[in-house]
Amino acid sequence: MIGVFDSGVGGLTVLRALVAELPAEQFVYLGDTARLPYGTKSAETVVRYALQASEALAAFRLKCLVIACNTASAVALPAVRARIASVPVIGVIEPGAEAACAASRSGHIAVIATEGTVRGGAYQQAILRRRHAAQVTAVPAPLFVALAEEGLCEGPIAAAVAHHYLDPLFAAAGRIDTLVLGCTHFPMLAGAIRGVVGARIGIVDSAQTTARHVRQALEQAGIAATGGEGGVRLLATDAPQRFARVGARFLARPIAPDEVTLIDL
């Protein structure tokens, strides 16, 4: 079983990529919908929540734990690794930074994320560790989270918000050639974002690179499932019906309300 957790439904974009990359694996996904958003909370609070979510998932005899939430990956990865020491714990920041460095020619990289992810500087540090001369500009884009939850992923409102965040970013730093979508919700708005930044900017989605990273880690450890049918189990800490309704868009398949089990942390 592979555990995946996020602050809510956004991490289903990561789960979708994981299922596509590892179709024979069993997944258990926990969305901490009772305490969403993590992106506006202090690092101390996010660490506490992430440890509780990780411990709840550890009860499922995991072979790997994926922190799908960028904010939790940014501030809580070392604490979760220390607590859940028996299995590999993989966050989304390092794979996203790796993909950004591979994609960028100019070394000028922009990151859009939640306030908490930007404030902690995790993307900036992860990119600079790999590419010392990189110029990283990270800005919070919190309204994208609300738009994705509301299903307003395209059209005039999404375009206006994308202009609001991205026009100043790209006007101020003309050599940016790569944009990292450093939040679970942002791949849902990739079309609107592409419409503003144009075709010459590389858009890096940490969901896909994380899924590849997890597959490589399992294969290297010799613990990847090689056959049989995979499956997904969904857990939420509040409002399972809303999780099913909103989450269906993120997972790109219908979710029946009785597929989501309510749990307490």
What is the footprint of ligand DGL within residues 131-190 (CB under 6 A)?
Answer: 145, 183-185
C-beta of 93 vs 255, nearer to ligand DGL: 93
Binding status of residue 96 toward ligand DGL by CB under 6 A: no
What is the footprint of ligand DGL within residues 202-261 (CB under 6 A)?
Answer: none
Judged by CB under 6 A, the stretch of 2-10, 104-112, 126-134, 209-217 that binds ligand DGL is 2-10
Distance in Å, CB of 212 to ligand DGL, minimum: 18
Binding status of residue 27 toward ligand DGL by CB under 6 A: no
C-beta of 104 vs 117, nearer to ligand DGL: 117
Closest CA to 57 of 42, 70, 68: 68
CB atoms within 10 A of CB 203: 15
Residue 148 token pair: 């994705």
Residue from 31, 39, 120, 247 binding ligand DGL (CB under 6 A): 39
Scan for tokens 């996904």, then name that residue.
Answer: 29
Judged by CB under 6 A, the stretch of 6-14, 23-31, 226-234, 237-245 that binds ligand DGL is 6-14
* CA 255 from centroid of its chain's CA atoms: 20
Binding status of residue 38 toward ligand DGL by CB under 6 A: yes
**Peptide bond connecting 142 to the previous residue in cis, omega within 30 degrees of 0:** no
**What is d(CA 233, CA 217) in angstroms, rounded to the nearest whole number?**
22
- Contact status, residue 195 vs residue 162, Cβ threshold 8 Å: yes
Closest residue to bound ligand DGL by CB:
39
**Catalytic positions, written as ranges:** 69, 183
As a residue count, the chain comes to 265
Distance in Å, CB of 11 to ligand DGL, minimum: 6
Judged by CB under 6 A, the stretch of 3-11, 98-106, 125-133, 151-159 that binds ligand DGL is 3-11
Distance in Å, CB of 70 to ligand DGL, minimum: 3
**What is d(CA 98, CA 217) in angstroms, rounded to the nearest whole number?**
15
Binding status of residue 71 toward ligand DGL by CB under 6 A: yes
Using CB under 6 A, list all residues that contact ligand DGL: 6-8, 10, 36-39, 69-71, 114, 117, 145, 183-185
